[in-house]
Amino acid sequence: MVVVRPLAGAGTIAAMRQIFLDTETTGLEVAGGDRIIEIGCIEMIDRRHTGRRLHHYVNPQRPSHPDALRVHGISDSFLADKPLFAAVAEELLAFVAGAEVVIHNAGFDIGFIDAELDRLGLPRFAQHAERITDSLTLARELFPGKSNKLDALCKRLEVDNSQRELHGALLDAGLLAEVYLRMTRGQKSLVIDGAEDTAGHHADESVDLRCFELPVLQASADENAAHEAVLAEIDTASKGKTVWRAAAVA
């Protein structure tokens, strides 16, 4: 079961353990016998990195397809002495137990993990995690009609992926975590569950914000002049097509 978690904005954010997961494989066809060769996971709690991670290269007992090799660059000879999936399966399942697992294009990765678990006679992946969130589905809702591959999202959301010359499970899990945080950064509530302010109010109590008077900071003459200079430069560069100049004249 793959679910899309609502954007952080639908009420107060509860404490949650999240695992960002990615895999690399010998090819694209799980039904054709392609196998997992690398798996990477990064943990966050309350949307903060904990420093815990899980990373394994896996001997797939078959060669990678040339197209896949060009994507991940992990050679068959490098994988020859790595453990089989059976040797890391229990550690993986323990790492994700009870957590929300976020995966980009979750159906692909879950299909490969489930195939590996089936070979071992173990329950499907979704039975171990609290929930599975497909960040690709979320991205398509936020950016319809645009490319929502991980590289495109990194560029759009200003996540530094300059080290991603080749795909790597742990690197991509880290990039996904940053992309996900930026896709879900909006929230309506700025309070923390169970918190108590200096007046003794708990976070879940209603507070009339109209009783607060917000200070208004006026720009100085120098700041106004600097702002006007920037607007003039933009107006010159656009050959007088700036909307605010036209609105001011009208």
Per-residue pLDDT of the chain (250 residues; tens, 9 = 90+): 444 444 444 444 456 899 999 999 999 999 999 999 999 999 999 999 999 999 999 999 999 999 999 889 999 999 999 999 999 999 999 999 999 999 999 999 999 999 999 999 999 999 999 999 999 999 999 999 999 999 999 999 999 888 776 678 999 999 999 999 999 985 433 334 444 444 444 444 555 666 667 778 888 898 888 888 888 888 787 777 777 666 666 5
In what order do the strands lie in the sheet containing 48-57?
A: 48-57, 36-45, 17-25, 100-103, 131-134
Pick the CATH number of 17-183 from 3.30.420.10, 3.40.50.720, 3.60.40.10, 2.40.50.100: 3.30.420.10
Residues 132, 1: contact at Cβ < 8 Å? Answer: yes
Q: Does 167 participate in catalysis according to the annotation?
A: yes
For residues 180 and 194, give the distance between their C-alpha atoms in angstroms, rounded to a whole number.
25
CA atoms within 13 A on the CB side of 32: 9
The dihedral region occupied by 105, where left means phi > 0, alpha psi between -120 and 50, and beta the remainder, is left
User: pTM above 0.75?
Assistant: no
The residue annotated as part of the active site, out of 55, 167, 201, 202, is: 167
